[in-house]
Amino acid sequence: MDPADFYSGIVAELYRPLKSVSQDPEPYAAFIRQVGEPTLELGCGDGDPLLELRRRGLEVEGVDSSADMLERLRRRADEQGLPATVFHQRMEALHLPRRYRAIFLAGPTFTLLPDDTTALAALRGIRAHLADDGAALVPLFTPVPTPAEQIGRVRTAAAPDGAELRVSVVAEHRDETARTQTTLLRYERHHGSDSSVVERPWVLHWYSRDEFEELARTAGLAVTAVTDPHGKPAHADATDLHFRLQVAA
């Protein structure tokens, strides 16, 4: 399937109750306060941390490739009384009506782009929408293989209507040459005699520091800093990196 369509249907429904990590909004709020507004969150999903940033009065818009996730974001925004401007577009095909002082991804969403060609298109989109005096923040990580004992292990949660929600890893393939890890995930929803089961490949594509910096340069962006998730200079062998970018001179 097209990687941009992964978070749709049952996957979008199960995303929030079954997700294992929530993004802390504070680092992104600090980034926005430092760089300025307006701000764009790429891959905003169903609204974390965008809605919390809006609650704090920050001018943040969002873009995501999943119409289903954006529908959930809008519903949450309405329930919380928060105005939210979001766009249904792919990261690699951005065409928005204005430029931004700050552009960021909350977490390593960039690794969902399946190859270098798509990543370069996304970076060119960032370059086109970034103000000349602005900055972009792109977190990246190198995924580790799923331990063998976790293949087939099921995580569960309960839906508001009492349905049992499940997700499990069915299989995994890692290609070091292509720098991709493809994990086949099974999503399930069971409510009495009514059941839905879907299997989808979740593709992660990673980069070395040098490889990403070269892509950024090709896109017309300059790397101004590479840090760890805590804002400290990244070690040479670090696999969890935050890149700060600006328009190249």
What pLDDT digit, counting tens, does each position of 101-123 carry?
A: 999 999 889 999 999 999 999 99
Residue 108: per-residue pLDDT = 87
Q: Which two tokens stand for residue 193?
A: 């005699």
Q: Dump pLDDT digits (tens) for 56-72.
A: 999 999 999 999 999 99
Q: Dump pLDDT digits (tens) for 75-110.
A: 999 999 999 999 999 999 999 999 999 999 998 899
- Report the C-alpha gap between 38 and 85 in whole angstroms: 12
Residue 160: per-residue pLDDT = 87
Q: Which two tokens stand for residue 8?
A: 């749709």
pTM: 0.95
Residue 33: per-residue pLDDT = 97
- Between 20-24, 82-86, 168-172, 230-234, the lowest mean confidence (pLDDT) is in 20-24
CB contact at 8 A, 80 and 178: no
> Residue 195 pLDDT more than 80?
yes
In the predicted model, what is the mean pLDDT of the chain? Answer: 95
